[in-house]
Structure 1
C-alpha cells in the first residue's frame, strides 16, 4: 500500500436507532421547527412542522404499520419522489424496526421486480396509479408481498386510522429494541453490469457520517444564532439524499422537500424556501452556472458576467493560497474588482439560490476545480466531498479553514483511507456497509482484509487531501495499449455552456472518442443569438457550421489538459439526452457507461469509420490517421 491518511478519533457511539433522534428532539425542543411543507392553497408559502408534531405523526403512522402486520426485520420499499410523506414514513418504519428499501420512482418494471424479489419486501409504498400498475404487473413473482400502499390515494391516512387501537407502549417497546447494528436500509447499487446489488446499511452506519459532520461542520449551515435550513430535492432513493435527511433531523435543521427537479420549479422553490445551506451533485452546480451565463447573455450582460466570473475564480484562488500558507492573498486591485462585482453581480447570483446560503456541499462525483473556485468567489463555498452507497455516503470533507478546491478534502474523523498500489481507494470505518444482501461472495470481494475496495481511483497528497481520478472499471484502454481515465476529459467538456453530457469511449479503438449531448436551454438561447445575426436562406447551414466550431472548441479546451495520446480525436453530438427514463442515468445522475456504449454502438462505429482512410486500415494503431478531431453530427 501507499499514501495512508489515518483520521482522528470519531464521535460518541450510537446507542439506539435512527428514529430515536425524532423522539429525542421532541422531548428536548418540542416547538423547534424541523420540517416545512407547502401550503396547499399557496405553494410559495411554507408551513413549519414542529418536532413534537413530527413525532406524533411518526407515532400514529407506526401504529398503523403495526396493525398491518409490519414487524421488526420486515422490509418495506418506498418508491416515491422526495416529498414530506417519504420522511414521515421512513422514520415510522425505523420506529417499528422495519428495514427501508428505497426505489427510484422512475425505475423500470424489471428493476422493480428485482428489487422487491431480491430484498423480500412484504410491502411497497408508491406515489400514484401508474406505479401501482407497475408493481401489480410483477406481483405474481412476489409471494412475500402483502401490501401495496398508494400515497396519492390516502394510504397514510388509512394506516393512521387502522392503528388507532394500538397502544403507545407497543410503539415505544419496538423502538427501544432497535440496535445500532440493526439493518436500517437496503440500498441498491446502480447495477451497470448484471443485477444491482443490495447494500445492507445499519443504523450506526447511516448515523455516523451525519453525527461527524454535525460535530465538525454544523457552524457552516447557518449564520450564528440562526437555525440552519436545507431544501431536500435529490432522491431519497440514493444514499446521498438519505444522508442529507439524516443530517437535518439529527441536527435540528429545518428541512423542506422539493420533488420536482425541473429547473424552473427548483429555482422557484429555492427563492421561496431560502435555505441557509445548499447541496447537490456536480451536474446541478454546472447547470446553475450555465443558467447564470445564459440569463446574463439574454440581458445583454454576457461580457460583464464572464469578467465577473473570471474575477471570482482569481479571487478564490488567491484566498485559497493564503489560507494554505502558499501566498499573500488577493492584491489591492483584485480586492477592488471583487468588491465592485459583489455589488453588481455576485449578490444577484446568490439571490437566485434564495440569498441566504454561504456554504454548499457537492457529492456523487468530483466537482471541477474551476467551478468550485467560481462559487467560492461569488460567496458560496462548495465543500466537495466523497462517498458511495457502501459507505452510507460521506467519508471525506474539506477541513474548515484549510479547504482545497479540486480535491474532495480529507477523511472524516473515525475513517481511514488508503490508496493501493494500483491506485484504488480503500476505506475502513464505522459507516462501511454490512454486506451485499444474499451475496456473500460479492461481500468478501468488496471487503478484502477488512478494507472496502471502492472501485474508485485516486491519490492522497502528503497532507491527506484526496483527489479522485476516476473509476477503476471506467478506465479506457485503446488498441495501442494507452490507459485513459475519462473523468477529467468529461468534466472539462461539460464546462462549455453548450455541452450537457459527455461520455468518453475508446476501448480497443485507435484513439479516444466522445459522445456529446447538448444543453437544450442553452442551445435554444445560442440559436436565438445566431439567428439575430443573419436571416439569410443559408442560416441553417451557417448554424450547423457554427455549432461544429463551438463543440470543436470545447473538445480542444478539454484536450489541453491531457497528453496527445489521451486526447479526444473523434466525437459525435447526439440528438437526445442520457436520462433516467432511458435507463442511461442512475438515480444519482451518474452515467451508466456500459448501457450508453451498448445503446449507441452504431453511432460509435460510424464515428470511427468516418475518420478512417483507405489503405491505412491495416495500421489501426497509427494515430497519424487521426490528426483532427471529427465533428460528426446527426
Structure 2
C-alpha cells in the first residue's frame, strides 16, 4: 500500500470558526475592499467594515426570527453577493447553512429540507419559493432575496441586544457543525455531509499556506462564478475572504468572458468544461475567419503544447522559443486578454482535465492547477501548485492531509479536511471509513513524489464477458476533449466488447453543417447516421482507443438524438453523468450495438 502525507503549516484553535474573520477584518482593516458588487457597467466596492455591519444586521434578524444555535438554515440561490452575506450571517447567528442548488427539483428540495430539518429557508426568486410549497413542518419561514430578505431581516433585528450576537459568536467552536452539504447524488438520494468549522478552516488554510494561495492577497481580485452550493467554489471563496483579497460574484455563464475583461481577475476557478469552452471558442472563431486564421490557431495550439511539455524536459530549444514568441503575439496575448489580461493562473476541479488542455493553457501563459477532492473532504484534498505541478496528475495532498492507495487500487484520504460523517446515517458513515481513512470510491495511483493520478471510479468499473476490467472515465474524458463531442458514456459491463453513447455539441454542430454542406435546419437526429458526421466522431473514438489495449477499446458507438441534461435527470448539478440513469434510459440504443447483424 503506497501513501503520502503533508505536514500542516498552520494551527487551528478549538475556539476558532470561519465567521470570526468577518469581524477581525472589520477591526484591523476596516477600509479593505473585500467584495465588489455589479451595478450597471461598474463595480461598487464593499469594505470590511460595511460587510461586518451587514452580516451583523442579517444575523440579528435571523435571531429575532427564532433561529437558534445549531439550527439549520437552507440557502437556495444562484451565485451572488447575497449568497455569501447570508452564509456568514447564518454562521454568526450560531446556525449552520444547508446549501441547495438553484437548479434543484421540488423533490430534491423537499428531501433536503426533511432530512436536514431546516427551520428557515432563504431563496433568491419567487420561482424558487414555489419549490417550498410542500415543505415539512420543521420549516417555519421562507424569505426571498429578490423580495428584500436582507432589508426585512435587518429591520426585524434592530431590537436584538448586541450582547446576544456576541454570545452566539463566542459560543461557536471549531468542531461545531458549519454546514450540511448534500452530495450531488449520481446514485440514490443525496446524503448530508457534516462539515465543521474546523473542516473549512483546514481547507482555507491549506490553500493559503501553499504557493497557490499567494494570489489571494489584499488588492488582488477573484471572480466567483461557479455555484456556491458546490463546496469547491465556496471553499475558494472563503479562502479569498480570509486572505483579504477582493471578490465579485457572477452567475451567467453566457456572459462570463465579458466579466473577465471587465473585472480582470488575478485567478480563475473553473471546472474542466469552462476551460474546454474557452479553447473551443477560440478555435471556432479562428476557423470561421478562413484558412489562414485557422492555420495560425492550429500552429499556436501545437506550439503551446510542445512548449509546455518542453518545460518538463529541460526547457524549450531556441527554435521553440522563437515559435512561441510568434504565437504569443498572434494568439496567446489575445487569449490572455479575453481572460482579463491579469490572470496569474487558473484552478480546475470537479472533473478530469485532459493533459492536452493543461499543456495548451500552460503554454499560452495561464497554467491551470488541477486538484482533487470530494464534498466529504470540504473540496480540495490534493492540488498541483506553482513550483510543484505535474500535468496529468491532481497534485499532492495539501498541508495536514494524507493519501494512500488500498490493495484494490481505491484512493483513501485522511486529514483535517475530511468530514465527520453523514447526517443521521451511521451505517453510510461506517461504510465509508476504513480505520479513520475515507474510502473515496475512486481508483488511482501515487508516483514516487507523492503525486496522485485518478484512473477511474470503482463503482463505474466495467468487467467485460472476457473478464477484462475497463475504467470508462479516462476514455470518456479523452473523447470529450474533441470539440464536436458534448458528452460520452462508455458502456459494456458483462458484454463481449466495449461501446459508447455520444452526444454532439450544439454549437460545433452548427458549424459542422456549414462546413459539410448539410442543411442548416437539419437536426442531430436526422444526421446521426451521416457518414461524414460519424467519421468526425470516429476520430474522437480512435484517439481514446490509442490510450488503451485492444480488449479495452471501443468497437461501436451510437450518436444520441439530443444532449444529456440536468433537467432530464441525466446530469448532476455539478455536470457529472448519472451513469445508471443514462444506461437505463438508452438501453435500446445500447442493446442495438450488441445485436447480431
Which secondary structure does the structure 2 equivalent of 1:181 belong to?
Answer: coil
Shift of 1:320: 2.1
Aligned match for 1:279, one of 251, 266, 269? 269
Distance 1:200 1:211, change over 3 A: same
Indicate the residue corresponding to 1:353 in structure 2. 339
Aligned length: 590
Distance 1:607 1:123 in 2: 50
**CA contact under 8 A between 1:220 and 1:359: conserved in structure 2?**
no
Q: What is the Cα deviation at residue 226 of structure 1?
A: 6.9
Residue 232 (structure 1) aligned with residue 224 (structure 2): yes
Partner residue in 1 for 2:477? 491
Q: Does 1:291 align with 2:290?
A: no
Equivalent position of 1:101 in the other structure: 98
* CA shift for structure 1 position 542: 12
Separation (CA, whole Å) in 1 of partners of 2:527 and 2:94 = 64
Q: 1:406-458 deviations in whole A, cap 9, x for unaligned?
A: 00111111101110010011111011101101111110111120111111110
What is the alpha-carbon distance in structure 1 between the residues aligned to residue 280 and residue 407 of structure 2? 39
2:257 aligned with 1:267, yes or no? yes
**CA distance in structure 2 between the aligned counterparts of 1:534 and 1:85, rounded to whole angstroms:** 43
- What are the within-5 Å matches in structure 2 for residues 212-227 of structure 1? 212-217=206-211, 220-221=214-215, 227=219
How far is 1:480 from its partner? Answer: 1.9
Question: 5+ unaligned residues in a row in structure 2: which ranges?
Answer: none
1:3 counterpart = 2:2: yes
TM-score w.r.t. structure 1 length? 0.90
Q: Quote the residue 2:88 is aligned against.
A: 91
**Is 1:117 the counterpart of 2:114 in the alignment?**
yes
Deviation at residue 517 of structure 1 after TM alignment? 1.2
Distance 2:128 2:575 in 1: 21
Pairing 1:151–2:145 present: yes
2:33 is aligned to 33
Paired position in structure 1 for 2:204: 210
Contact 1:527 / 1:543 at 8 angstroms: preserved in 2?
A: no
SS in structure 1 of the partner of residue 594 of structure 2:
helix
Q: How far 1:98 moved relative to its partner?
A: 0.6
For 2:399, which of 403, 413, 420 is the aligned residue? 413
Q: Is the contact between residue 514 and residue 571 of structure 1 (CA under 8 Å) also seen in structure 2?
A: yes
Offset, 1:532: 9.3
| Distance (Å, rounded) in 2 between the aligned partners of 1:252 and 1:587 | 30
Question: Which of 543-552 and 63-72 deviates more?
Answer: 543-552
In the alignment, the residues of structure 2 paired with residue 524 and residue 88 of structure 1 have an alpha-carbon distance, to the nearest angstrom, of: 42
Which SS does the other structure have where 1:135 is aligned? Answer: coil
Deviations 1:550-582 (A, max 9, x none): 011111111111111111111111122222212
Alignment of 1:392-541 (within 5 A): 392-531=378-517
1:34–1:249 CA contact under 8 A, matched in 2: yes
Instruction: Spell out, residue by residue over 1:587-626, the C-alpha distance to the aligned partner (whole angstroms, 9 max, x if none).
Output: 22211111111222222222332xx23xxxxxxxxxxxxx
The CA distance in 2 between the partners of 1:541 and 1:567, in whole Å, is 25
2:155 — aligned with what? 161
1:13 aligns with 2:12: yes
Quick one: distance in 2 between partners of 1:269 and 1:509?
A: 48
Match of residue 306, structure 2, among 309, 314, 319: 314
Is 1:192 matched with 2:192?
Answer: no
Taking the aligned partners of 1:532 and 1:283, their CA distance within structure 2 comes to: 28
- Give the Cα separation in 1 of the matches to 2:212 and 2:493: 45
Q: CA deviation at 1:529?
A: 2.6
Q: 1:219 to 1:413 in 2, by over 3 A?
A: closer
Alignment map for 1:576-591 (pairs within 5 Å):
576-591=562-577
Change (3 A) 1:541 1:195: closer
For the 8 Å contact 1:237–1:587, the answer to whether it is kept is: no
**CA RMSD across the alignment:** 1.8
1:619 alignment partner in structure 2? none
Question: Matched residues in 2 for 1:401 and 1:542: separation?
Answer: 46
Matches of 1:473 and 1:557 in 2, distance apart?
A: 25
Distance 2:36 2:593 in 1: 50
CA displacement, residues 340-364 of structure 1 (integer Å, 9 cap, x when unaligned): 1111110101111111112111111
Q: 1:541 to 1:489 in 2, by over 3 A?
A: closer
Task: For residue 557 of structure 1, give the secondary structure of its aligned residue in structure 2.
Answer: helix
Tell me the secondary structure at the aligned position of residue 149 of structure 1. Answer: strand
Inter-CA distance 336–220: structure 2 relative to 1 (3 Å threshold): farther
SS in 2 for 1:385: strand
**Structure 1 residue 220, shift from structure 2 partner:** 4.6
Give 1:212 shift: 1.5
Cα distance in 2 for residues equivalent to 1:604 and 1:102: 36
Give the 3-state SS of the residue equivalent to 1:425 in structure 2.
strand
Aligned twin of 1:573: 559
Instruction: Give the conservation status (yes or no) of the 8 Å contact 2:489–2:501.
Output: yes
